[in-house]
Amino acid sequence: MLTADDIAQIRALIREELARAGVAAAPAAAPAPAPSYAPGDPRIEMDRQARIGLDLLSRARDTPGGMVELQRLMTAGADRQLRLIACARAGELGDDALLPIYERLTADTADRELYDAAFEGLFAMWSEPPLFQTASKAAYKLTTRLLERKPRAIPVGVIVAIHLMATSTGDRYYQDWLDRAPWFKPAAFGEMLGELVLDSALDPVGRGLLVEAIAKLGASRRQLERLRKQLHDVTEEDRDVAAKLAEVIAASR
């Protein structure tokens, strides 16, 4: 089970990684310096994988045949870790040519690790917070189908990305993205997330993040209170989610 500290670290790592991606994407910018971590810090491996991912994206964008090679890695890469990185990062290109691959890789959860990587990449095809450089309507539709499919299998990375998207709604990047993604309706997406909050099979910390996301996407106090009434206090995890809802309701107008 994820702890609040785990989620905080994941958020920080995602922000660091996307910030580096933003610097790397600017032609005139100098490469981001390698962070200095203490030996054994798990961010060392995260940083290594992030740099591999950035290299794969750069090759796909700028090298003849790079996109074909990236697709090959996603579908039949012999190196397991490289394949997972390719699946998780390729969506940042926002290219709908990748959609059939993501659809196949998320068709079932037999290979949960690969499924999670593909789902994270799929999400990035239409919403890549905090920079919001992609806007694939087709990827959004597939994402919503996966979020609604039962039994639900939602990667931690996707929940954190949803939360990061929702907490970016006041940013210029998000507002510009809404102009390019008129099909995205924050209220409707928030309503769908409410069903996830009620699903006691999902991680309670993740459900708590979704509660915060729903509020940031514009849910009214009345809507939040209705969601709280629908939540049955059956398990300790449900009670924790109910407490998060009460906290968010108290903070709302």
Q: Check if the beta carbon of residue 224 is closer than 8 Å to that of residue 245.
A: yes
pTM: 0.82
127: Cβ contacts below 8 Å, ≥ 6 apart: 134, 135, 140, 161, 165, 177, 181, 184
Using only C-alpha atoms, the chain has a radius of gyration, in whole angstroms, of 18
Give the pLDDT confidence score for residue 33 in this predicted structure. Answer: 54
Please name the residue ranges forming H helices in 95-203. Answer: 99-105, 112-126, 137-148, 156-166, 172-180, 186-197
Q: Check if the beta carbon of residue 2 is closer than 8 Å to that of residue 156.
A: yes
Q: How far apart are CA 227 and CA 242, in angstroms?
A: 9
The position carrying tokens 């090759």 is 59
**CA separation, residue 95 to residues 21, 44, 100 (Å):** 17, 29, 11
Per-residue pLDDT of the chain (253 residues; tens, 9 = 90+): 444 455 455 545 545 544 544 434 333 334 455 556 677 777 766 677 778 777 888 888 888 888 999 999 999 877 899 899 999 999 999 999 999 999 999 999 999 999 999 999 999 999 999 999 999 999 999 999 999 999 999 999 999 999 999 999 999 999 999 999 999 999 999 999 999 999 999 999 999 999 999 999 999 999 999 999 998 766 777 888 999 999 999 998 6
Q: How far apart are CA 139 and CA 122, in angstroms?
A: 6
The amino acid at residue 220 is S
Q: How far apart are CA 180 and CA 133, in angstroms?
A: 10
Residue 28 is classified by DSSP as T
Neighbours of 184 (CB within 10 A): 16
User: For residue 186, which phi and psi values (nearest 5 degrees)?
Assistant: -55, -45
Neighbours of 201 (CB within 10 A): 10
Q: Check if the beta carbon of residue 17 is closer than 8 Å to that of residue 9.
A: no
216: Cβ contacts below 8 Å, ≥ 6 apart: 166, 167, 169
Residue 93 is classified by DSSP as G
